[in-house]
Amino acid sequence: MTPIKIAVVDGDGISPAIIREGKKILDVVARYTSFQFEYLDAPAGGEVYKQVGDSLPRKSLELMEQSDAILFGAVGLPDLPQGVAERAILGIRQHFDQFVNLRPIKLFNSARDTCPLKDRFIGDGIDMIICRENSEGLYAKIGGILRTDEVATNLMVYTKKGIDRIIHHAFTIARNTPGFTKVTSVDKANILACSQLWRSRFHEIAKKYADIPTEDFYVDAFCQWLIRKPYKCDVVVTGNLFGDIISDEAAYLLGSLGMAPGGNINPDGISMYEPIHGSAPDIAGKGIANPIGTILAVKLMLAETFKEMDVAAMIEQAVEETLDEGRTVDIQKEGLPTLSTGEMGNLIAEKLGKLLKQ
């Protein structure tokens, strides 16, 4: 078959090391299936900014435009002005209208020990999808930003179109994903006008999905509920800022941000997949970063963009089995070997190869 083009952003800090492990998984998939992948090197982020004065060069963006999907490593460096490197990911999201940010939060049975909660709060397990609006709100910088030494302002703007399409997407996930039956909306409608519009649209759209149970929460109430009863969450839909915060909180329920993947989705265009953690320059080059978030981002890519649900399920199974045999330092367990970044990737790739050969 014609090779699938994957634009690859190696990113900063630990990112080149974990992106290497993500590509390793794709290479195993190519070895045992009809899929073939061509990698397009599309530099972006802090190191690129240092070289050319732009964290998202036009040439890189053009390569992404030629791709079928984007695999993105985290960006950011401490010796650059705040936000300079991060403009790359915001620029990509806006350019490709990736209005859905998917953040699956799943606690593997083999890694229940990593969860900071007691068993009675975990229940039968944690398995949710946070569906975050990704194109509007504060991060879109609509109206610009004014900063002085004493005043700083940002505008949080939401449109009916932007709200409606993300809420419809959340209901579509709930309807089409086995085991997911409920949609929870998170807002701050008691204070914010844009959240009042959000809540009214949620209730109106929910009428079209009468078979799917719904509920809504203020974001502060949801944050404590996420800790007390995370097993009650299925599909959670929320705005850009709130989604950023609660998805990081939820990821810590897995014991480490290194466990969580993310997808920036345009259902009709080019989507981008990434781990949700940062570039962690303080541990770059030490070989201790957890590659599972990136490997699960590859799994998400295969499921969402290429609709390869069976292969995606095998990647998840390979991760589950590996967690019983070894861990990286952030999720280490007494009695199991502590693995390097490459060793963890190798073990997952080995297990995936065996599953694909069956």
Q: Which of 23, 106, 188, 299 is catalytic?
A: 188
Distance CA 87, CA 48 (A): 12
First to last CA, the chain: 22
Q: In the 8-state DSSP scheme, what is residue 339?
A: P
The Cα angle at residue 244 between residues 320 and 158, in degrees rounded to 5 = 135
- H/E element, 264: strand 261-265
Q: Which of 23, 244, 273, 330 is catalytic?
A: 244
Would residue 273 show up in a list of annotated catalytic residues for this protein? no
Would residue 330 show up in a list of annotated catalytic residues for this protein? no
Where do runs of H (alpha helix) occur along the chain?
Answer: 15-32, 46-52, 58-65, 87-95, 119-122, 160-176, 193-206, 219-228, 240-252, 292-304, 309-322, 341-357
Residue showing tokens 């967690």: 323
Distance CA 61, CA 263 (A): 18
293 with 331: CB under 8 angstroms? no
Three-state SS for 27?
helix
Would residue 188 show up in a list of annotated catalytic residues for this protein? yes
Q: Which of 113, 220, 310, 324 is catalytic?
A: 220
Would residue 244 show up in a list of annotated catalytic residues for this protein? yes
Q: Which of 23, 68, 139, 158 is catalytic?
A: 139
Would residue 139 show up in a list of annotated catalytic residues for this protein? yes
Three-state SS for 235?
strand
Q: Which of 32, 248, 252, 354 is catalytic?
A: 248
60 with 43: CB under 8 angstroms? yes
Task: Quote the tokens at residue 232.
Answer: 């009650």
271 with 265: CB under 8 angstroms? yes
Distance CA 40, CA 49 (A): 19
Three-state SS for 146?
strand
Nearby residues of 38 by Cβ (< 8 Å), 6 or more positions away: 3, 4, 5, 6
Active site residues: 139, 188, 220, 244, 248
